[in-house]
Structure 1
């Protein structure tokens, strides 16, 4: 509700994504176009729907306020387009990794030296992990060892998915500094 100088209630055109009535207006006005944008990029119906719904969730969680419906539409199109492009890039990387694993030689020969290096690396990693701050250590452990995705970690810890991504990145950076990239044996 907006009041003018005289104190009279004036109709406001701004839309609040966190308000259920405004959210419904935004959804009804933009769903078709957002789906078309996402589907053109990802070429998968279910994925396109998920990406569009994620954009609405993002607008609502951030309590976005849009001056007009056009502003809401343009913002959501940008969010959906970027999310769709990121999905396609991620899918491409996953496919390359899958192909690489399929065609790699899987024979493993170990020697006493490689076993010793592996044990030393595990100890260094555990030691470095224990030196991380609690908030960084817990997201990294949940991501790498519990094999949880960012959304699940966010729900578990009560933080946003974006915050989880930032913490995982920072944890990996700090681990690299603590361990030193040349001092680790990986096989």
Structure 2
């Protein structure tokens, strides 16, 4: 490479040289910050990314033919670092949101668990008190998840008759349980 002592008049920029580093810093710092900030939308992160890029240039002791070459190299480095930062933050945010949703789905308070258990017990007791013809249509509808036509085929009755029985079974079940005493999850 070109030796610094031999070419004092040279336009080369030596990143390891304090004066040249200061020249680059003064010339491009605000531009680099604007580039990074537009990508990451966070002042502190943009400033850190710019400083990291300048430090990288200094530590690698890069030599540039001109101030413009140093500027364009730094813009590329800052742009790429900012894009990577933005992608990482998006992934982290999505992971955090997924974790929050999973937590809500998976964890119920002790009180909620108790209320669910009591409701299940009351429902089973009430279901057993229903006449067999009403009990069967509800079991096939709610637990086996059959549609009205399928239930009709299984029980040998019309689809209309199934609908009537399901309605009556739900009505009687609600009376037996007492709707105010049932926990319904949201």
Aligned-partner Cα distance in 1 for 2:95–2:51? 28
Query: Which protein has the larger Cα radius of gyration, Structure 1 or Structure 2?
Result: 2
Q: CA deviation at 1:10?
A: 4.8
Contact 1:26/1:72 (CA < 8 Å) preserved in 2?
Answer: yes
Match of 2:97 in 1: 99
Q: TM-score, normalised by structure 1?
A: 0.52
1:27 and 2:28 are equivalent in the alignment: no
Gaps of 5+ in 2: 108-186
Deviation track 1:69-126 (CA, whole Å, cap 9, x = no partner) reads 000000000000000000000000001100110011445xxxxxxxxxxxxxxxxxxx
The runs of 4+ residues in structure 1 deviating greater than 6 Å are: none
Please give the residue correspondences for 1:94-173 in structure 2 after superposition, counting only pairs within 5 Å. 94-104=92-102, 105-106=105-106
Q: Render the CA deviation track for 1:147-171: whole Å, top value 9, x for unaligned.
A: xxxxxxxxxxxxxxxxxxxxxxxxx
**Equivalent of 1:59, from 53, 57, 78?**
57
Instruction: State which of 59, 62, 87 in structure 1 corresponds to 2:85.
Output: 87
Gapped regions of structure 1 (runs ≥ 5): 4-8, 108-187
Residue 48 of structure 1 corresponds to 46
Deviations 1:30-59 (A, max 9, x none): 001101100110111111100000000110
Q: Distance in 2 between matches of 1:33 and 1:78?
A: 12
Contact 1:34 1:52 in 2 (8 A): yes
Q: What count of residue pairs does the alignment treat as equivalent?
A: 103
Following superposition, the deviation at residue 18 of structure 1 comes to 1.0
Shift of 1:2: 5.0
State how far apart, in whole Å, the 1-side matches of 2:57 and 2:5 are. Answer: 22
TM-score, normalised to structure 2, is 0.53
